[in-house]
Amino acid sequence: MSKVYYKTEEQIEQIRESANVLSSLLAEIAKVIKPGITTLSLDKLAFDYIQDHGGTPAFLNYHGFPFSLCISVNDQIVHGFPSDYIIQDGDLVSVDGGVNLRGFISDSAYTFGVGEISAEAQQLLDVTKGSLLKGVEQAVAGKRVGDISSAVQEHVAPYSYGIVRELVGHGVGLHLHEKPEVPNYGKRGSGPKLEEGLVICIEPMINAGKAGVKFWDDGWTVSTIDGKLSAHFEQMVAIRKGTPDVLLTFDEVEKVLSKK
């Protein structure tokens, strides 16, 4: 994450094409995710889908990560390994994926509530996604990273939730992780200025309990310190004047989910 890359209009459109593949993949996952299937089966679906659409999984072999998706269940926050774990009714399943399409990178995450979830879990999902949308509203030229960060934090503040601090959003597009970092907490008017041509991922990671995290021995998985639930939503935004240009919306996913 050593450099800020400002993108041309042409590059932004190429990133949008990559994002379209990823958005459609998340919708495919929405169709099949249910109790009784393994998280590894979702990873295989992702690998095949991305390859079939002319891309490669951006996460696969990234710093040695061995899968196409990060799948984090319940108290896992991010970077969970797909496995033989059988998804249960009531689980929260965060699916985080990336696509490399002709050298242009997209990155997004959606947390699915599977089957009948608790009212507590539903509220956590709603608040986390709501905080993302509040952050996205601030992603316009002339604002600062801190305006995004504080919008996320202020939305979460009325709830007794923990905002993860060790992991943050980031620039994206030519590489999976670019500058600037985009924390989910901070002060309005602080941090790097948002300028046209910047493409960023905003990704609140919100815990139902304490903000603290536990790093697993596998070198990747991060879970809550108290075993309580966590949720994670991530969208990509190109910085423009006046209004955010959301390169990857959840419209396709939520259309599928509304019919289930």
Asked if 145 and 192 count as a contact pair (C-beta separation under 8 A), the reply is yes
Please say if the pLDDT value at position 82 is more than 60.
yes
Q: Which residues are annotated as a binding site for a divalent metal cation?
A: 96, 107, 170, 203, 234
User: E strands along the chain, which residues?
Assistant: 56-57, 69-73, 76-78, 92-101, 104-113, 162-163, 169-171, 178-182, 199-202, 205-207, 213-215, 222-224, 230-232, 235-238, 245-246
242-253: average pLDDT: 97
CATH of the domain at 82: 3.90.230.10
Q: How confident is the model at residue 83 (pLDDT cuts 50, 70, 90)?
A: very high
pLDDT of residue 3: 87
142-151: average pLDDT: 98
Please say if the pLDDT value at position 205 is more than 60.
yes
Q: Which residues are annotated as a binding site?
A: 79, 96, 107, 170, 177, 203, 234
**Would 158 be classed as within a structural domain?**
yes
130-136: average pLDDT: 98
233-247: average pLDDT: 97
**Would 238 be classed as within a structural domain?**
yes
**Would 44 be classed as within a structural domain?**
yes
Angstrom distance (rounded) from CA 99 to CA 51: 9
Q: How confident is the model at residue 1 (pLDDT cuts 50, 70, 90)?
A: low
pTM for the full predicted model:
0.97
**Would 4 be classed as within a structural domain?**
no
For strands 76-78 and 92-101, give the pairing.
unpaired
**Would 3 be classed as within a structural domain?**
no
11-18: average pLDDT: 98
pLDDT of residue 2: 67
**Better-predicted residue by pLDDT, 125 or 3:** 125
Per-residue pLDDT tens digits for 62-77 = 999 999 999 999 999 9
Domain, as residue range, for 151 = 9-258
pLDDT of residue 165: 97
Other Cβ atoms less than 10 A from the Cβ of 243: the count is: 10
Number of domains in the chain: 1
212-228: average pLDDT: 97
**Would 1 be classed as within a structural domain?**
no
Q: Which residues are annotated as a binding site for substrate?
A: 79, 177
Q: How confident is the model at residue 260 (pLDDT cuts 50, 70, 90)?
A: confident
Per-residue pLDDT tens digits for 25-61 = 999 999 999 999 999 999 999 999 999 999 999 999 9
Asked if 239 and 201 count as a contact pair (C-beta separation under 8 A), the reply is no
Angstrom distance (rounded) from CA 253 to CA 260: 11
Please say if the pLDDT value at position 156 is more than 60.
yes
Please say if the pLDDT value at position 185 is more than 60.
yes
Residues contacting 94, CB < 8 A, separation 6+? 70, 71, 72, 73, 76, 77, 78, 80, 109, 110, 111, 112, 230, 231, 232
